């Protein structure tokens, strides 16, 4: 169905090739997962399969041949052949064309010349499957980040192409939504023989759905095989900048301690536990190893009291939300797409005003504080960093806030290089931020906020679309600021981040708070997890399955891979 032969592609002559002699073939109905670090060539590979390379890019150099769905796509006008090849692009918001959600999703199928009734039926069906049926008549501009991605997916699915290429399509979806979309892809493959190419950072999702995984590195296919083959070599994955599934990492640690432990690398918590249980020592040692919850006692720096927010079109996005956050806390806000997370956090920096109730920042009612004054105590990073980046160079972008507050030139010349070094972007000082990758743009956005040394940092989805190393780097920096006293509130769908970094979770569902309590306990509240569309990470599943056996309360089980590996090493009978 897809055949690439010796494909080499350079966007510009003086750049290294984005694709370097890539050959691959994909059979009809195969589900291929593509992983790899930022800049490794994943999107370029997708463009090549779609037939956008070389035609859509001027000035590049192309060699090799690409045949997709029976067409030599690199040669012809085949990029218009959307009846056979469908693509969901990485930045979903750039795809919206219609004035309503329904129109937007119909655009593709209408252009295929399908009968009106077929278009309406299909579009309605897929909008329902991505859970946007209630938003039919709204403008795409009013959708949340995750809803926007869902719309882009529905529009492409409604064309029912033979080959579906999806470039990190579910990065902003809630964990349950990710699985639902993959279930749809899997069904299309099974029922209609659709070939699926999915680029995705989450190894657990790929391990669960893909027949074959490719790791891209430096424009080449560095490894490929079944998920078990590829992820089984956890070390090789890490060397290529790819995070292996947690079960593979744990298995690797056990193998290191006890010699050959697993005949086959476990890819799910169930597989992991099945082989482990018979080898766990019988005598439970009742000590708790989890980190004790430290009660925070600082002043309240963020407060919402009975907050409601009704948008201009009448939609009630927040309903009676009450919460209080103390100075020095690290809080994660999680929940279903459209639950109101972004709407809520925008109240903390005054972009949105409550239509009922009260919001206080640093003890002051935000209605009585001018937005610029608010920015002195609170730093806010948008869900999409591009919504805040505007300066022509990284240096100026990062310097801007200091200028606004009249910080002297001398002081600025000290602080800008300092913060650039913290984020490891000093070499990019003269680069235009918009030419950078998502991870680097995210760093620029964060640096430009943190340079102001805000007491409180509110960040909306700081790790989406970042590769593993970029994630770890950014989260480590946040940890440092937290350790030196900054209050951190992060909106996220990344449950590993929640588990390992935040101390408290606020889960939102349909504009209300569904849970507010310690992160360590959150993952064991089955009803809340269902309500907020949260899926457990394998490590939390393992903790739940093993807690009783090792004699530790589930919420006291270790929250990190290292911690869990150490505990198990103690409890496994040699």
Ligand X SMILES: Nc1ncnc2c1ncn2[C@@H]1O[C@H](COP(=O)(O)OP(=O)(O)OP(=O)(O)O)[C@@H](O)[C@H]1O
**Contact footprint for Mg ion (CB under 5 A):** 144-145, 341-342, 383
According to DSSP, the residues that pair with 365 across neighbouring strands are 360
| Residue 311 interacting with ligand X (CB under 6 A) | yes
| Residue 532 interacting with ligand X (CB under 6 A) | no
Window of 49-57, 211-219, 313-321, 351-359 that interacts with ligand X by CB under 6 A: 313-321
Taking the CA atoms of the chain, what radius of gyration do you get in angstroms?
24
C-alpha dist (Å) from residue 571 to 22, 159, 380, 470: 46, 53, 44, 34
CB of residue 556 to ligand X, shortest distance in Å: 30
269-276 and 246-258 helices cross at what angle (nearest 10)?
20
Binding-site partner at residue 57 among Mg ion, ligand X, none, CB < 5 to 8 Å by type: none
Structure tokens of 158? 């409604």
According to DSSP, the residues that pair with 8 across neighbouring strands are 63
| Residue 316 interacting with ligand X (CB under 6 A) | no
φ, ψ (nearest 5 deg) of residue 462:
-70, -15
Q: Which residue is nearest to Mg ion (CB)?
A: 342
C-alpha dist (Å) from residue 338 to 82, 495, 547: 30, 18, 34
CB of residue 477 to ligand X, shortest distance in Å: 23
Binding-site partner at residue 338 among Mg ion, ligand X, none, CB < 5 to 8 Å by type: ligand X
Whichever of 420 and 505 has its CB closer to Mg ion, that residue is 505
Whichever of 347 and 443 has its CB closer to ligand X, that residue is 347
| Residue 313 interacting with ligand X (CB under 6 A) | yes
Question: What's the CA gap between 495 and 532, in Å, rounded?
Answer: 12
Please list every residue from 366 through 425 that binds ligand X, using CB under 6 A: 383
Question: What's the CA gap between 133 and 510, in Å, rounded?
Answer: 15
Number of residues that bind ligand X (CB under 6 A): 20
Among 40, 79, 247, 342, interactor with ligand X by CB under 6 A: 342
Cis amide bond preceding 54, omega within 30: yes
Binding-site partner at residue 11 among Mg ion, ligand X, none, CB < 5 to 8 Å by type: none
Question: What's the CA gap between 324 and 342, in Å, rounded?
Answer: 17
The answer to whether 487 touches 514, Cβ cutoff 8 Å, is no
Whichever of 160 and 342 has its CB closer to Mg ion, that residue is 342
CB of residue 383 to Mg ion, shortest distance in Å: 5
C-alpha dist (Å) from residue 203 to 128, 231, 397, 412: 27, 8, 34, 42
Q: How far apart are the first and last CA of the chain?
A: 50
Residues 6+ apart with CB under 8 A from 169: 88, 92, 149, 152, 153, 181, 198
Among 119, 123, 217, 339, interactor with ligand X by CB under 6 A: 339
Whichever of 145 and 155 has its CB closer to Mg ion, that residue is 145
| Residue 96 interacting with ligand X (CB under 6 A) | no
Per-residue interface string for the shown chain with ligand X, residues 265-304, x marking contact by CB under 6 A? ----------------------------------------
Residue 107's CB is within 10 A of a number of other CB atoms, namely: 17
| Residue 142 interacting with ligand X (CB under 6 A) | yes
| Residue 337 interacting with ligand X (CB under 6 A) | yes
Whichever of 273 and 331 has its CB closer to Mg ion, that residue is 331
Interior/surface letters 214-243, b for 16+ CB within 10 angstroms, e for the rest = bbbbbbbbbbbeebbebbbbbeebeebbbb
| Residue 494 interacting with ligand X (CB under 6 A) | no
| Residue 338 interacting with ligand X (CB under 6 A) | yes
| Residue 341 interacting with ligand X (CB under 6 A) | yes
Structure tokens of 332? 């994660």
Whichever of 50 and 341 has its CB closer to ligand X, that residue is 341
CB of residue 172 to Mg ion, shortest distance in Å: 8
Whichever of 214 and 378 has its CB closer to ligand X, that residue is 378
Window of 28-36, 235-243, 308-316, 559-567 that interacts with ligand X by CB under 6 A: 308-316
Among 343, 442, 519, 520, interactor with ligand X by CB under 6 A: 343
Burial class (CB in 10 A: 0-12, 13-18, 19+), 5: middle
CB of residue 383 to ligand X, shortest distance in Å: 6
Binding-site partner at residue 484 among Mg ion, ligand X, none, CB < 5 to 8 Å by type: none
Whichever of 338 and 401 has its CB closer to ligand X, that residue is 338
DSSP state of 244: P
| Residue 145 interacting with ligand X (CB under 6 A) | yes
Question: What's the CA gap between 476 and 324, in Å, rounded?
Answer: 25
Interface with ligand X (CB under 6 A): 142-147, 172, 311, 313, 315, 317, 335, 337-343, 383
């Amino acid at each position: 169905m897809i055949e690439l032969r010796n494909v080499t592609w350079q966007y510009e002559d003086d750049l290294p090739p984005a694709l370097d002699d890539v050959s691959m073939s994909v059979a009809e109905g195969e589900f291929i997962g593509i992983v790899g670090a930022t800049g490794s060539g994943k999107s370029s590979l997708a463009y090549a399969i779609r037939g956008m390379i070389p035609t859509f890019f001027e000035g590049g150099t192309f060699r090799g041949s690409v045949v997709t769905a029976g067409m030599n796509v690199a040669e012809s006008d085949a990029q218009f052949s959307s009846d056979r090849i469908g693509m969901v692009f990485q930045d979903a918001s750039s795809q919206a064309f219609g004035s309503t959600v329904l129109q937007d999703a119909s655009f593709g199928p209408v252009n295929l010349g399908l009968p009106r009734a077929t278009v309406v039926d299909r579009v309605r069906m897929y909008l329902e499957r991505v859970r946007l049926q209630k938003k039919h008549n709204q403008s795409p501009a009013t959708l949340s980040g995750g809803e926007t991605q869902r719309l882009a997916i529905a529009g492409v699915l409604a064309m029912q192409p033979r080959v579906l290429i999806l470039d990190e399509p579910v990065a902003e979806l809630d964990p349950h939504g990710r699985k639902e979309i993959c279930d749809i892809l899997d069904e299309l493959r099974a029922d209609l023989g659709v070939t699926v190419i999915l680029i995705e950072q989450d190894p657990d999702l790929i391990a669960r759905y893909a027949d074959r995984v490719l790791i891209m590195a430096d424009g080449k296919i560095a490894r490929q095989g079944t998920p078990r083959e590829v992820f089984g070599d956890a070390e090789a994955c890490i060397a290529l900048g790819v995070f292996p599934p947690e079960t593979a990492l744990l298995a690797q640690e056990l193998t290191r301690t006890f010699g050959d432990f697993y005949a086959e690398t476990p890819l799910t918590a169930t597989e992991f536990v099945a082989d482990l249980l018979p080898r766990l020592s019988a005598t439970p040692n009742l000590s708790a190893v989890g980190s004790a919850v430290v009660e925070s006692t600082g002043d309240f720096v963020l407060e919402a009291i009975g907050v409601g927010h009704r948008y201009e079109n009448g939609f009630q996005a927040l309903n009676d939300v009450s919460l209080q956050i103390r100075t020095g806390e690290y809080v994660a806000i999680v929940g279903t797409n459209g639950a109101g997370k972004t709407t809520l956090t925008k109240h903390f920096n005054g972009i949105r005003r409550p239509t009922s109730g009260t919001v206080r920042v640093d003890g002051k009612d935000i209605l009585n504080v001018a937005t610029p004054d608010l920015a002195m105590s609170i730093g806010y990073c948008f869900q999409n960093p591009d919504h805040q980046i505007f300066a022509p160079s990284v240096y100026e972008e990062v310097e801007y806030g200091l200028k606004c507050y009249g910080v002297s030139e001398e002081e600025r010349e000290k602080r800008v290089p300092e913060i650039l070094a913290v984020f490891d972007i000093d070499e990019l000082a003269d680069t235009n931020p918009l030419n950078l990758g998502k991870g680097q743009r995210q760093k620029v956005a964060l640096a430009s906020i943190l340079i102001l040394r805000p007491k409180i940092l509110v960040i909306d989805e700081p790790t989406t679309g970042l590769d593993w190393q970029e994630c770890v780097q950014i989260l480590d920096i946040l940890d440092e600021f937290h350790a030196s006293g900054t209050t951190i509130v992060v909106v996220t769908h990344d449950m590993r981040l929640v588990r390992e970094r935040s101390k408290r979770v606020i889960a939102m569902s349909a504009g209300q708070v569904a849970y507010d309590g310690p992160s360590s306990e959150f993952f064991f509240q089955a009803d809340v997890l269902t309500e907020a569309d949260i899926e457990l990470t394998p490590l939390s599943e393992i903790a739940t399955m093993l807690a009783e056996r090792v004699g530790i309360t589930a919420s006291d089980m270790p929250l990190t891979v290292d911690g869990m590996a150490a505990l198990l090493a103690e409890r496994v009978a040699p």
